[in-house]
Chain A
Amino acid sequence: MFLTVDADDKRPLYQQIADGVKALIASGELREGMALPSVRQLAGDLGVNLNTIAVAYRQLQEEGFLRVRHGAGTVVTSERPTRIEEEALRKPLRSALTQWILGGRDDSEIVAAVRRELALIHQKGESR
């Protein structure tokens, strides 16, 4: 199971890591109870400051995706709310759609892209 990070990505590194973990959870590759590497291991492998990984893990912990379990390290949890307020979900979607429209894409192209991305997430989940 791998996380991909890109130095050319505009998002800060900790955000890329947090988003990557969420994507793996959404696709079903990371399931409840599975352990993640320690902050030290991930920071050492990536060659970044411990804080970068700690911030990503803390964010995931606050959002209910991870839990620090004594003796088992950081594990994926299902304590997060199953239904998130629709308005909270709409905001990033709206922002992304605005970017696509400003990027010169018409509605049919955007819908096709959304379908492709959804298929990709489900496909990853099925191939695990």
Chain B
Amino acid sequence: MIQHSQAAWTLLLVTGLIVAAQAAAFKLFFWDTPLKNGTGFFLGIEVPPGFYQGAGARWLGRYRALILSVNVILALALIAILISGRWLLLPLWAGGVAVLHTAALLGFGAYARAKLGASPPVESRVAISLESRRLRDYFSLPGEAVMAAIIVASWLLLLLRGDARVDWFAPAVMTYTVMGLFFLAIGAVRIGLPPLPADRPEEHQRWVEESRRYGVRWMTAFQWVVVAVLASYALLHGWPLVAATPWAIWLLVGIILAIWLGQVLTTFIGGRRLTAMGRGLRPPGSWSTPFRQAKGTPRGWMVFFWAWFAGLAALIVYSVR
């Protein structure tokens, strides 16, 4: 627990900012996401005309009930953190918001696809892009190296000079999160998305490619937030001078806030841009080809995500015991 009372109101400010961002995310997921491709689609699955006057209203209700439940759980967790004063759980909570929303969306999306999208339209003529996808076009190798160096340095600092108050689950959860996101981002580049419609392939390709880059950008930004928290934790517990210097704590909080705000902006600006780009286009996975079934997210990526998510949930539950 951070003992500096000077930093307490800063943490309250951080909480306020997180809640504001969370409210915006709630609006995005609750209202915009299911209909982002227009009324001809539900979560990217093609639906018949008049769907939202019938069964669609029930589907929308179920989806929104799920998102509401997720947010109620998150709100209760936040209240518990604030009352108990376990401020260090705040970054974990902020991370949990993103992960839990993604898990809810992926889980409900897969369920809806199995029920509603079982017989999607089949196109016999399809286009495929001949552009090569190389990891170096999506990742900054120096950036990744710096991130790895910060993680290693943080661990070394904690192992060699960590004080008695080090809770080893905190750096373990953070490192696990960053590693998982790294492999998920690589998977996002490597996975093959369905072919493009032969009609307007250029526009579809630009949209699909931007979605891929958005996913990688979002995961990298998320990694940086977690790495910043890990490094701050290591400095606070491994370098007594930092813990005793108010301005140093302010600086760390400021850095984390700035990186986190960057991630929030990436989410909202990128998401809005993607929605605008995809207007009038057919989402990948809303139609099938004779060579390949319609799929939202490839199975391999999903399996890895759920395994990582289960591990993360187990670690968090164990660490807040």
A residues sitting closer than 8 Å to B (CB atoms) are 1-8, 13, 21, 24, 30, 35-38, 41-48, 73
Per-position contact with A for B21-59: 1 when CB-CB < 8 Å, else 0? 000000000000000000000000000000000000000
Q: Taking chain A's interface residues, is the majority helix, strand, or loop, or is none over half, making it mixed?
A: mixed
A37 touches B191 (CB 8 A): no
Partner of A5, one of B126, B131, B132: B126
B194-217 with Cβ < 8 A to chain A? 194-196, 198, 201-202, 205
User: By the criterion of a CB under 8 Å from any partner CB, how many residues of chain B are at the interface?
Assistant: 26
Q: Tell me, rounded to whole Å, the shortest Cβ–Cβ distance linking A41 to chain B.
A: 6
> Given the complex, which residues of B lie within 8 Å of A73, measured CB to CB?
132
A6 touches B130 (CB 8 A): no
7 tightest Cβ-Cβ pairs between the two chains A and B: A47-B292, A44-B192, A7-B290, A7-B124, A45-B192, A2-B127, A6-B125
> Given the complex, which residues of B lie within 8 Å of A42, measured CB to CB?
128
| Residue ID in chain B nearest A5 by CB atoms | B126
A47 touches B131 (CB 8 A): no
B127 touches A4 (CB 8 A): yes
Q: Tell me, rounded to whole Å, the shortest Cβ–Cβ distance linking A76 to chain B.
A: 10
> Given the complex, which residues of B lie within 8 Å of A3, measured CB to CB?
127-128, 130
B194 touches A2 (CB 8 A): no
Per-position contact with A for B78-113: 1 when CB-CB < 8 Å, else 0? 000000000000000000000000000000000000
> Given the complex, which residues of A lie within 8 Å of B124, measured CB to CB?
6-8
Q: Tell me, rounded to whole Å, the shortest Cβ–Cβ distance linking B302 to chain A.
A: 15
Most B C-beta atoms less than 10 A away, residue of A3, A47, A48, A73: A47
| Residue ID in chain A nearest B132 by CB atoms | A37
Q: Tell me, rounded to whole Å, the shortest Cβ–Cβ distance linking A2 to chain B.
A: 4
Q: Does B291 count as interface, using CB distance less than 8 angstroms?
A: yes
Q: Does B165 count as interface, using CB distance less than 8 angstroms?
A: no
Most B C-beta atoms less than 10 A away, residue of A2, A6, A37, A43: A2
> Given the complex, which residues of B lie within 8 Å of A37, measured CB to CB?
129-133
A47 touches B130 (CB 8 A): no
Q: Does B15 count as interface, using CB distance less than 8 angstroms?
A: no
